[in-house]
Structure 1
Amino acid sequence: MLSSRPTRMAISSLTAAVVAVGLMAAPTAQAEPALSPVATVTDQLARQLASDYAADARKLLPTTADHAVNLARAPETSRLGRAVRAANRTVLSAKGLPQNGTPLLTVRLADPSMVPALRRGVAPLVASSPTDDTLTAVTAYDRAATVVQLDPNRVPDRPVYLVEVDTSAAVAMGMKVVRSTLSANGQAAQVDAAAGYWATQVTSIRLNDDKEPWHKGGAEIFAIAAGFGQDGKVKVDTAEMPYLDHDGTTYYPGQLLVHFSSYKYNLADLVLMEEDGGTNYRDLALALSQALLTIIDGGVYIPLVNAILNAIPTEWWTDDPDYVDSWYTLSTATTGTLTGAAANGTITVNPYWVQPL
């Protein structure tokens, strides 16, 4: 995940908050911020996996660091299975997602360097994957449910399993929630391909290298595009960017991110956000809808990035904000390499004609 974020009061001048990588450290005397609802669930489940349900969990825990295991694989009749299902229901609710949605809780080995120790039989710890980039310790648990504080800046010698949210699945469900809410209020962009239209194609994209901490996985990025519709109301489109996992890597997606058939002035703004595990999509959708309803088309295009950012719930800007970068006033003719307003991302774009159906 990205570890560089702006504060709410300094959107236009992003300052990198670099968090380096983790070993063990003594507990800090400084009080840690209160856990979010999702973090509370994952922390409790981490403690249970390490201690109460260790025997049941042993068959589920991966022996390599190349994949995560969905904890819903635990037998429904086992104590672990019942605990996981209850935790999943709580997480789905906390994220504003439907209760019949994909189970989101997973567990993974934190780092490939831990595999040899695991094979030697070193007893692993279990922790909840933190979303806070400013934390001073990662809380883990051993077989006796004893708290072990880990240094977030150095990879531990001891194997550590991380309980976390499947952010890829969460984004896919969350975008449906956002689109559904906006559509119900007449604010969703509607692509009309009958006559063909111009779109902005992203041919390459790169986010700054912020030296990922060991307890973070790959980022899950989604895009919000907004412009004025033919009726004068702000129209919003969303897109998943599942390939955009790591900072410091250039990706070549060829993805269409702005569809100008929806927009009156052939102009739109683009905002990239990150799913950090705690994102509540119902709150995001409602906040966007309410904020954008107040914007009036005055006959000339008004940039909408600030309106989108101001609509984001306040708690998203404390400890683990989700804003990545933004690009103002893209048009049907925009081409070339563009640095975002927060200087955290660079995209290369060109106009793309979508053939009529």
Structure 2
Amino acid sequence: MPQGSILLVHGTGVRLGKYEKSLEVAEKTASECSLGRNLFPCAWGDSLGVEFEGLSLPDVPTAEVELKAEEDLAQWIWILDDPLVELSLLGIPDGSAANAGVLNPEGPTPAEQNLEQVRAYAPSLEFRQLLARGGLEDVWEPARTRILSDKVTERAFEASEHEPQEAFRALARALVAQLHVEAISRSRPALSAVHREKLVQRLLIDWKQQVFGISDRFLKFVARAGTRYVRDRRNALNAVAALPLGDVLLYQTNGAKIRSFIKSKIESCPAPVTIVAHSLGGMACVDLLALGDIPQVDGLVTLGSQSSFMHEIGSLSSLKPGEKLREGFPRWLNVFDRNDFLSFFASRIFPNAIDFEVASGQPFPESHSAYFGNEVVWTRIRSFITGRE
């Protein structure tokens, strides 16, 4: 393998402490993949990135208010993702049904009677008004058909014969969640929390089941898993949104200093240099290499890059909308992950780019930072450097 170096350029929102950890992981994984080049750091964030103290962020609520908000949001996150999730939990026998009493074998069971009641339900004037308020009149029937025809609903009522209110409550929420799903699929506005609750409460009133709230079993599930999920998602998304957003905006107005910093690092590395650049770092490197020849650079690898997207919308600093890369632009490998919503396909915008898809198995935003420790990524980089495409 020819001698040379790899310059590791970080992306948005990264500061030295986090970068050093990423560099350590990258060096270890690259070594395990028999990539015998030295990795050199290019940490521009501390000196050139945006300064952000968080003064513009809302105050942290009290623990009681935060817990209540997390529970409310968590339960709907689960249900809107899968409208049948609460009903499916009710359909898991808990042993209580054995105490429901002897059923009449010759007539419909209480569960069948309850299901027949909701299947025969004709929306009241009040419920129709709530549907009209959200422009949902035409999606009620498909939502109703989808939920009531599923065996999950039938099993939930059978398992809840001893406490049918739980099944009614879960069904009302499932129907409203499916209304939301149907609306979104038709490019309608999402239902607000207030509108959702009014729809749920009206269904329960119409069904004469005025016991609101979620099922005890689902509440325990939400308290254990849901609120932790919401807290983790919120913390992770805040990390993606604060410094990174500031760095992107700063780059758009003052990218020349960042490009100059990267260029100076390139010139200090042993040639030939392969640049491995993440996120905004990749966009800065595409701009830098598009603006002029840097002989030391033999190849560019972008990880989770927005370069193609920015050029498609006419926001790449180095190129006018529709303009092609200069002759002699270095070989380019673009690595993307479909779970990383900040990564994009490049070769349809830049024909000289080679796209390579990886699957980190991580949700967003963790997927955006999962490239450095991925052996598949470094093995592909090794092939790219050695010319074994």
Indicate whether the TM-score tops 0.5. no
TM-score by length of 2: 0.23
Q: Say which structure is richer in helix.
A: 2
TM-score by length of 1: 0.24
